[in-house]
Amino acid sequence: MTSTRVPGGTFTMAEDLTVTRMGYGAMQLAGPHVFGPPADPDAAVSVLREVVRLGINHIDTADFYGPVVVNELIREALHPYPDDLRIVTKVGSLRDAEGNWLPALAPEQLRQAVHDNLDHLGLDALDIVNLRVGGFDRPTPGPISAPFTVLAQLQQERLIKHLGLSTVNAEQIAEAQSIAPIVCVQNFYNIANRDDDDLVDSLAAQGIAYVPYFPLGGFSPLQSEELSAVATRLGTTPMAVALAWLLQRSPNILLIPGTSSVTHLRQNVSAAALNLPEDALTELNRIAS
């Protein structure tokens, strides 16, 4: 793949890990509520193949999406994988028979989750594994050294190449870094939810990627008069403006918007080429204040 085709450029997380800043989040390829198979598996495969065709080399997934369904779709669509494709997964949660999200941070659960991701993706080693702790959209204070140490051990066993964290605060990041290096943090953040502003800047200074989940609001899409006004003035959509704002917010921000539509995927990629003028940035920055 030629990643230079993708608007937004690239970010180097590590010597062997350069990704397009515009990535793809595969969560929406599962069925309703991220549970069960999609209504149209062939369409899901087409989206994944279009991701690669567009030059995106950063796919975010988890074996608990479905569960299993999304990882198996990725394997069906893209295996054997392009040499520069980087698949990022996460562990620390599981689904019960009713589709509830349950914490799964015990050592044996984390080890099993890593092996499940390897098996279902068809890989010998995972590019990045994020340890997901915390709640739905915000960190839960408390130590994380025990589960993170398990992943660090799996990295020493060469089942994981790089480590990351999800839904964590600054203290938990520092705690993890005392055990092993991290290359990314994946937290809830978007133009209207900016609690992590200081954290974004701190990670940028360290060369660590910040990957906002729910960049478009998640299950409750962003609603803002300022966002709509700027989009109308620029002749584009509010969602395109929200994605472009994130890319201009800091060079270490990587995007993983999800979609099950090829058309929507192309629109997201086009949004990365949108350059927001200073007056628009000033207006947009008032949304969260």
Tokens of 216: 């478009």
pLDDT at 219: 62
* Model confidence at 218: pLDDT above 90: no
Tell me the pTM.
0.95
**Which of 65, 81, 210, 213 is the catalytic position?**
65
Across residues 165-187, what is the average pLDDT?
A: 98
For residue 217, what pLDDT is reported? 79
Higher per-residue confidence, 94 vs 215 = 94
pLDDT of residue 73: 98
Q: 52-71: buried (b, 16+ CB within 10 Å) or exposed (e) per residue?
A: bebbbbbbbbbbbbbbbbbb
- For range 256-267, the mean pLDDT: 96
> Tens digit of pLDDT for each residue in 69-79?
999 999 999 99
Average pLDDT over residues 44-58: 98
- Amino acid 209: pLDDT: 98
pLDDT value at residue 151 = 98
Tens of pLDDT, residue by residue over 178-213, are 999 999 999 999 999 999 999 999 999 999 999 999
Active site residue 189: no
For residue 3, is pLDDT > 80?
no
The answer, yes or no, to whether residue 229 has pLDDT greater than 70, is yes
Question: How high is the mean pLDDT of the chain?
Answer: 95
Q: Omega before 103 cis (within 30°)?
A: no
Residue 120: other Cβ atoms inside 10 A = 21
Give the ranges where 207-237 is alpha helix by DSSP (H).
225-234
